[in-house]
Structure 1
Amino acid sequence: MATLKYSRQREAIKNYLYGRTDHPTADMVYTAIREVYPNISLGTVYRNLTLLAKQGEISKISCGESSDRFDARTDAHYHFICEKCGQVYDLMDVDSGVIEQMARKNFDGEIYGHQLYFFGICSQCKENKEK
């Protein structure tokens, strides 16, 4: 992909995401970036998030009917999406290579990567439900 012209706003968005583990929405990113760049528009934040995801510098997590989330981690890992509160969590120690090997074994084409999401209720929502 082509190298992008440097943008302070885009760099601020990336740095914000690198400091997070909670997979913020575009609105959350916008609110935080406005503290540094008060004149930035929501459209600019959306465009930059989309561009960064296309460039492979961040990951975009599509959460079905709720807002997309963004992740600075681009290494192979899976996510859990809570259907009650909408939070997105990293799932650690799940071997993504095994799933990809199985898919390649049964597919004649070329596989470049994959995404896999797990859905359910997070521990906090489960605890609240049990009370």
Structure 2
Amino acid sequence: MVTNQMVSQTIEKLKASNIRITPQRYAVLEYLIEADSHPTADDIYRSLVERFPNVSVATIYNNLRLFTKIGFVNEMTYGDGSSRFDFATTQHYHAICEKCGKIEDIYYPGLEDIEETAHNLTGYRVTNHRMEVYGICPDCQALLVSE
């Protein structure tokens, strides 16, 4: 299964960086890899607290901070004040529903050279980029039609 392989590969990278693999750290990582929902730290906490009754929200945040720092996870901040987290294996973009807040990944070949293009046009030394597309998801569209 791809998920188990991704978890194993990521764990090996953490070990190679001398980062201790605690059961909680493993669970957070596994949850992020399996999640399609771009969860908040609170979402992760609620899903793990039953399995790990002693886990704290601070532990979740600390692990997310670590994973973000070493580049396994992207933190996505939006206007609602909550950060969402995305396990990042390849560069991708996001479609965001303006009604329900659902986020879906978009993989679009051809945007890999956008940083070089931006550099060539502006002279900026580009360090990162993100693209978001906003609209109304199919589920919310269906609700609008039925209203």
TM-score (norm 2): 0.78
- In the alignment, which of 47, 61, 69 is matched to residue 32 of structure 1? 47
Identical columns (%):
35
User: Counterparts of 2:136 and 2:110 in 1: how far apart (Å)?
Assistant: 22
Match of residue 114, structure 2, among 92, 96, 99: 99
Kindly indicate which of the two structures has a greater share of residues assigned to helix. 2
Give per-residue Cα distances to partners, 1:26-74, cap 9 Å, x unaligned: 1110011112211101111112112211111111111221522111133
Which stretches in structure 1 are left out of the alignment for 5+ residues? none
Gap runs ≥5 in structure 2? 1-16
Shift of 1:112: 2.6
Match of 1:69 in 2: 84
Task: Tell me whether 1:116 sits opposite 2:125 in the alignment.
Answer: no
Name the counterpart of 1:87.
102
Q: Provide the residue aligned with 1:18 in structure 2.
A: 33
Counterparts of 1:129 and 1:99, CA distance in 2: 36
CA distance in 2, matches of 1:129, 1:68: 27
Superposition RMSD in Å: 1.8
Judge conservation of contact 1:59–1:74 (CA < 8 Å) in 2: no
Task: Give the Cα–Cα distance (whole angstroms) in 2 for the partners of residues 3 and 107 of structure 1.
Answer: 39
Paired residue for 1:9?
Answer: 24
- Tell me, what secondary structure is at the counterpart of 2:112? helix
Kindly provide the amino acid, as one letter, of the partner of residue 15 in structure 1.
E
The CA distance in 1 between the partners of 2:69 and 2:111, in whole Å, is 21
What count of residue pairs does the alignment treat as equivalent?
130
